[in-house]
Amino acid sequence: MSKKLLIIGAKGMAKRALDAIEEQQEYSEIALLDGYADYDQVYSYPIIGSSDDVEKLRQDYSHAIVCIADTKTRLHFLNRVMAVGFEVPNIIHPRAYVSKSVAMGVGIIVNAMAAIQSDTKIGNGCVIETGAVVEHDNEFGECVTISPNASTMGYIKIGNCTYVAGGACVVNAVCIGENVLVAAGSVVISDTPDNVMVAGCPAVIKGSVEEMKHMIWPGVYPEGKF
């Protein structure tokens, strides 16, 4: 049976994933879904509908991967593709390093020059971006993002849907809750509760994550269309 891949999302994360997917040369057909794209293809691959069409396309595609930056939206669609029986691959760039002792879920993207060190657990739908470093004995929940050049030291725990922005550092043995936004360049030296944004060196709580996201990126989170 030929392997046909459906990518949910058609922006920067999908482009980076496609670089790795093309090198793997595993799929006979690739298409994308995105309700907001103002273009009809990414590289040479067509956008064939909105993300909400995913269930309709189950009979046409064997595999699906979710490439959506917003972590809660990514988890929403990951659950949908798994519920209708898509095979959900991990996309690991050949120039990334993943220790043989790492335990990985499904739907994980590891981009070029990223490194994941020994005895780390990576949950479903996590994204480890270009040049990010995840050190030993970390444990990530589902749909965590570690952005370019961010790093987590040893024995870190990070809850579902947390986003660690570019260049941030989480020091040894810190626990970060669910749905947390760690601002770019921050240094997290103490445990962080759920649903907050932290920023600074050392990082401190700046407000609720939903308030801060809408303040920083107005209009990025419209309702009802994916």
Each residue's pLDDT tens digit, 144-160? 999 999 999 999 999 99
The whole-number pLDDT of residue 212 equals: 76
Residues of the chain with pLDDT under 50: 221-226
For residue 5, what are the contacts with CB-CB under 8 A and spacing of at least 6? 21, 26, 27, 29, 30, 31, 61, 62, 63, 64, 65, 89
CATH class of 92-209: mainly beta
SS (H, E, C) the chain: CCCEEEEECCCHHHHHHHHHHHHHCCCCEEEEECCCCCCCEECCEEECCCHHHHHHHCCCCCEEEECCCCHHHHHHHHHHHHHCCCECCCEECCCCEECCCCEECCCCEECCCCEECCCCEECCCCEECCCCEECCCCEECCCCEECCCCEECCCCEECCCCEECCCCEECCCCEECCCCEECCCCEECCCECCCEEEEECCEEEEEEHHHHHHHHCCCCCCCCCC
The whole-number pLDDT of residue 213 equals: 72
Q: pTM score, two decimals?
A: 0.94
Other C-beta atoms lying within 10 Å of the C-beta of residue 98: 20
The whole-number pLDDT of residue 17 equals: 96
- Residue ranges covered by each domain of the chain: 4-89, 92-209
Q: Tell me the pLDDT tens digit for each residue of 193-206.
A: 999 999 999 999 99
Determine the Cα–Cα distance for residues 46 and 30; give it in Å rounded to an integer: 8
* CATH of the domain spanning 4-89, picked from 3.10.129.10, 3.40.50.510, 3.40.50.300, 3.40.50.20: 3.40.50.20
The whole-number pLDDT of residue 37 equals: 86
Quick check: 67 and 20 in contact, CB under 8 A? no
The whole-number pLDDT of residue 1 equals: 58
